[in-house]
Structure 1
Amino acid sequence: MNKYALIIDYIRNLSQEKKIKTGQKLPSIRSLADKFQCSKLTVVRAYKELEQEHFIYSAPKSGYYLVSKHKKEGLSKSNIYFSTVLPDINILPYDEFHHCLDQAMEKYKMYLFSYGETRGLPSLIETLRKHLQNYQVFCKPTQIVVTSGSQQAASILTNLQFPNGKNTILVENPTYDRMIKNLQLHSVRTIGIDRNFHGMDLNRLERIFQEEDIKFFYIVPRFHNPIGSSYSMDEKKEILRLAQKYDVYILEDDYLSDLDTDSRNDPIYSLDTTDRVIYLKTFSKILLPGLRIAAVVLPEILVSQFLRYKQWTDIHTSMLPQGALDIYINNGMFKRSVTRLKRIYKKRMDYLKNICNSFDREVLDANIPHTGFFLSMKSTKPIQYNVILPELSKKGIIIKDIRESYLEKNQKMNLIKISVSKTDNQQIKDGMLSIYNYFLNQ
């Protein structure tokens, strides 16, 4: 067992043996690093994992505290986490990437004593240019900017003045909840277009493009969060055609492209010949969530303005993780890791599909993609989330409130979002059958 796992077990045992009480402060990061003879990064990783499980919580400038020591009060190993977007820690390449960080510390140490490039580490930019070709994204290195996660890129684009002179942002409804919060934070006018199991109404999309001053359309074409489905190539072509016709830019969030097993499922960017699409790719979801490295591929007309904005907000993205990612990709580690992740998540989705095929669709209709993290299930009746979420939680099944993914939180909804990013087959089976039986008995 690695030291990261030992630290998690140690904290759980402190709670189980009542050596630490609810609300009591946990050992400091430094003390645990000394105790287990490991780096502080390893301790932080263990604490962040426990925090994601709501087993502990952090207080700024104070430390970490225990949420609950009893199973019925909080979450434990027996809980099934259908709520998290974080990948499975047991299959992430932590040790390999830690090695790359050590190499990056030596190779790029000169960057630690000065401000780096706003655009990103030059060697990583070139590496990304070649790497993105695997996704059918062909661009110049001058079009690529490295950002501190995808939401930094989205935030900058939200504030930029686009050549079309428009000010309204269109999003799919539902969509990635952090994007909604990002737009609300900037008080930008945002409207939505419904997306369901079968995609969106393209006639409705054309009317919106025609009648509203849409600056850009934020879209997750494949492995949609929270629905899980992907658009067909014909749908992508039509969306792009309408954007070109009505002078609308597209912000394409292709966060899980690495897991796609369909070689023909290319991004919208690959179809664009008029510099209409902005391509956004994060490396956090399939590498390490704490890495906070993303790449945005911009139309050339937006590059200089984007760089000016980024320069005056953070000067540059942290150089050390950039250097580590550069080494990780060039050494072939990234490719090997992605191959493994593809296999694992494809098997999980196949297993899930076999379970859901036995469900009565009049009770729960499941929309299951061929791979990825997410799927959604639709009830024939509006769901009372304030009731069902606590009820399932009592059964040890943790589900995220999907209302956070909608612009309008008060509308009637009948969807449940399921993430299998951190569940094994037994948990998938137990959890899905419990959810189905709950609705069956309503």
Structure 2
Amino acid sequence: MSKYNDIVNYIISEVENKNLKYKQKLPTVRMLSEKFDCSKATVVRAYAELEKEHVVYSIPQSGYYLVENNDELNRSVHTDIINFSSAAPDKGILPYEEFQHCLNKAIDIYKQTLFDYSDSKGLPNLISVLRGEFQEYQIFCREENVFITSGSQQAINILFNMPFPNGKNNVLVEQPTYNGALKSLEFSSDRIIGIQRSFKGINLDELERRFANCNIKCFYTIPRFHNPLGTSYSGEEKKQILKLAEKYDVYIIEDDYLADLEIKSNSYPMYYDDISSRVIYLKSFSKILLPGLRIAAVVLPKILTNVFKEYKKWADLSTSVLSQGALEIYIKSGMFKAHVKKIRKTYSERMNLVKKELAQANMPYLKCHVPDTGFFACIELIENVNVSNIIKELRYSSNIYLEDVEKNYLKDYFNDNILKISIARANSENIKSGIPIILDKISKIKEEKSFYNDVFNI
């Protein structure tokens, strides 16, 4: 267990044992730093987490204090919560201390730049470093085609709102898809059109009909480790989608948000096979580093660079120089590669454990869809069982948190038979104890439904 978790658990334990009380000043950062033999930054991070969960509050120039009548202590922070709902990365494996070192170095290196606006395109040194790093993903590009944005959400917002050379106005999205993309389109003047993506993939004939008849300017897709299905397109599917995009003059926005978790050596992004400059490649660093970093990179076809730069400039003038500089240093130091290796192993092991636990189920009314790695696995209920009820009962009876997939759908496409399991923040112990409880709850609800149907001849 990390020092950060040790400190959080120590504070909770002291409160439960009534050694810390309301209005009493909590141990100082210095005291805890010495007690746990760690950096002050680790202590501050631990207190920040407790503050976020409304366990403590801070008074400037004074210190930290316990929140009165704290109900959150026994819920959000306590270790009996099993979180299968979050798409945010596991805080326990994120490189806080290493990245703080890079931030400090970035302040020294870029201190003059911090007083001025930087190039809206991005920090040239980071772009240069990323161009080399992208070769690891089989993304070969020129520096002039790479842009840095304030997270992938900003890039999505810009792309959905800017005009494309094909003069078309509609955006095609998979159903289901990342809810941030759907939310972005709510504020766009473009019309949103859906196409079903199932656990078996996408219907290419239907895709061709959409491209041919629906005035599609771009197709937003998550080819691997799909959110929320967890599935990936095959190499052949990617090539067929590219052929159709070229044939019908459609651009593709490839959201490769979890590229770093890929364990197959022969799995390449769509960008790799793009010979007609149709693919816009989008890579986030928030899911594998720090969510608050808010840095993403976009690789654009040359024909789109000028208009994207103009829209980016007036979206935020420039992305944080400090964050960009820290990421540059982090990658150049070799720490990024080491971290990627660690999380790739971690999430692969977790997903294998999910697969093992779900394999214990002997329930003909459900199918389990578990990838080799990634954040998401799904249980598909073949017979009509109310998924929302399952989610509610698990939360209130077992402290297991799951998230409904309704927000990932357009209204006309909603599929109410999918139970999404996110392992982004669920460790091995959570998986071992939580999955059997989920399966047991599904079984009991199914039995109750069958009994009700038999009694009332439904």
Q: TM-score, normalised by structure 2?
A: 0.86
Matched residue, 1:306? 308
Q: Which residue of 1 aligns with 2:267?
A: 265
Question: What CA distance in whole angstroms lies between the structure 1 residues aligned with 2:237 and 2:254?
Answer: 14
Shift of the alpha carbon at 1:107? 1.1
- Give distance in 1, aligned partners of 2:383 and 2:94: 38
CA contact (8 A) 1:120 1:317 kept: yes
Provide the rounded CA distance (Å) in 1 between the counterparts of 2:315 and 2:437: 47
Deviation at 1:309, TM superposition (A): 1.1
Aligned to 1:423: 426
Contact 1:56 1:67 in 2 (8 A): no
After superposition, what is the alpha-carbon deviation per residue over 1:124-182, rounded to whole angstroms, capped at 9, x for unaligned?
A: 00001111111111111000000000000000111101001111111111111111111
**Contact 2:377 2:422 (C-alpha < 8 Å) held by counterparts:** yes
Q: Residue 80 of structure 1: which of 82, 87, 93 is its match?
A: 82
Measured after TM superposition, the shift of residue 6 of structure 1 is: 5.7
Cα gap change, 1:130/1:67 in structure 2, threshold over 3 Å: closer, same or farther?
Answer: farther
Aligned partners of 2:380 and 2:418 also within 8 Å: yes
- Paired with 1:244 and 1:299, the residues of 2 have a C-alpha distance of 13
Q: Which amino acid aligns with 1:97?
A: F
TM-superposed deviation, 1:101: 0.9
2:55/2:73 contact within 8 Å kept: no
Contact kept, 8 Å, 2:75 with 2:81, in 1: the verdict is: no
In 2, distance between residues paired with 1:275 and 1:210?
19
Change (3 A) 1:410 1:118: closer
- The answer on whether the counterparts of 2:2 and 2:92 sit within 8 Å (CA) in structure 1 is no
Distance of aligned partners of 1:332 and 1:407 in 2 relative to their CA distance in 1, 3 Å threshold: same
1:141 & 1:67 partners in 2: Cα distance?
55
SS of 1:109's equivalent?
Answer: coil
Match of 1:196 among 175, 192, 198: 198
Find the residue that maps to 2:371 and give its secondary structure: coil
What is the Cα-based RMSD across aligned positions, in Å?
3.0
Deviation of 1:48 after TM superposition, in Å, equals 6.2
User: 1:10: how far off?
Assistant: 6.0
Q: 1:88 to 1:238 in 2, by over 3 A?
A: same
The change in CA–CA distance for 1:70 and 1:51 in structure 2 (over 3 A counts) is closer
* Amino acid in structure 1 at the alignment position of 2:130: L
Contact 1:100 1:324 in 2 (8 A): yes
User: How far apart, CA to CA, are the structure 1 residues paired with 2:216 and 2:66?
Assistant: 44
Q: Structure 1 374/386 Cα, relative in aligned 2: closer, same or farther at 3 Å?
A: closer
- Asked whether the equivalents of residues 16 and 69 of structure 1 are also in contact (C-alpha less than 8 Å), the reply is no
Find the counterpart in structure 1 of residue 361 from structure 2: 359
Deviation at 1:27, TM superposition (A): 8.8
Deviations 1:333-386 (A, max 9, x none): 111111111111111111221121222352331111111111111011344344
Residue pair 1:403, 1:409 contacting (<8 A) in 2 also: no
CA separation of 1:389 and 1:49: change in aligned 2, threshold 3 A = farther
Deviates more, 1:8-17 or 1:96-105: 8-17
Q: Deviations over 1:5-39 (max 9, x none)?
A: 46634664576467678xx9x999xx976775799
* Residues 285 and 411 of structure 1: CA distance in aligned 2, closer, same or farther (over 3 Å): closer
- How many Å apart are 1:67 and its aligned residue? 9.7
Q: What is the SS of the residue equivalent to 1:116?
A: coil
CA gap 1:306/1:17 in 2 versus in 1, 3 angstroms: farther
Per-residue deviation at 1:223? 0.5
- Residues 171 and 191, structure 1, Cα contact 8 Å, conserved in 2: yes
Residue of 378, 381, 406 corresponding to 1:379: 381
Alpha-carbon distance between aligned partners in 1 of 2:296 and 2:107, rounded to the nearest angstrom: 20
- Contact 2:147–2:297, Cα closer than 8 Å, also in 1: yes
Does structure 2 retain, via aligned residues, the 8 Å contact 1:33–1:39? Answer: no
Q: Which residue of structure 1 aligns with residue 440 of structure 2?
A: 437
Say whether the 8 Å CA contact 2:366–2:383 is kept in structure 1.
no
Following TM superposition, by how much is the alpha carbon of 1:183 offset from its aligned partner in structure 2, in angstroms? 1.3
Contact 1:3 1:36 in 2 (8 A): no
Unaligned 5+ segments in structure 2 are 58-64, 446-458
- Residue 392 of structure 1 aligns with an amino acid whose one-letter code is L
* Residue equivalent to 1:402: 405
| Equivalence for 1:124 | 126
Q: Using the alignment, how far apart are the partners of 1:296 and 1:411 within structure 2? A: 30
Distance, in Å, in 2 between the alignment partners of 1:157 and 1:66 is 46
Change (3 A) 1:396 1:17: same
Displacement, 1:396? 1.1
Displacement of 1:189 in angstroms is: 1.4
Q: Is the 8 A contact 2:55 2:72 kept in 1?
A: no
CA–CA separation in structure 2 for the residues paired with 1:245 and 1:156: 25
C-alpha spacing 1:6/1:378, structure 2 compared with 1 (3 Å): same
> Alpha-carbon deviation of 1:76?
2.3
Task: Give the SS at the match of 2:195.
Answer: strand
The one of 330, 333, 349 equivalent to 1:331 is 333
Return the alpha-carbon distance in structure 2 between the equivalents of residues 142 and 132 of structure 1: 14
Task: Quote the Cα distance in structure 2 between the aligned partners of 1:299 and 1:97.
Answer: 32
Say which is worse superposed, 303-312 or 187-196, in terms of deviation: 187-196
Q: Distance in 2 between matches of 1:174 and 1:98?
A: 37
Question: Aligned partners of 2:226, 2:440: CA distance in 1, in Å?
Answer: 26
- Give 5+ residue unaligned stretches, structure 1: none
Aligned positions of 1:32-43 closer than 5 A? none
8 Å CA contact 1:359, 1:365 repeated in 2: no
Greater CA drift, 236-245 or 350-359: 350-359
**Of 412, 417, 440, the match for 1:414:** 417
Report percent identity of matched pairs. 45
The structure having more radius of gyration, on CA atoms, is 2
When the two structures are superposed, what TM-score results if normalisation uses the length of structure 1? 0.89
Corresponding residue for residue 99 of structure 2: 97
Measured after TM superposition, the shift of residue 424 of structure 1 is: 2.2
Alpha-carbon displacement from aligned partner over 1:65-115 (angstroms, at most 9, x marks no partner) = 789526776562111100111222222221111111111111111111111
- Contact preservation (8 Å) 1:175, 1:226: yes
Alignment check: 8 A CA contact 2:172 2:220 kept: yes
Q: Distance in 2 between matches of 1:409 and 1:66?
A: 46
Paired residues for 1:185-334 under 5 Å: 185-186=187-188, 188-334=190-336
The answer for the alignment partner of 1:392 in structure 2 is 394
Q: Deviations over 1:283-308 (max 9, x none)?
A: 11111111110000011111111111
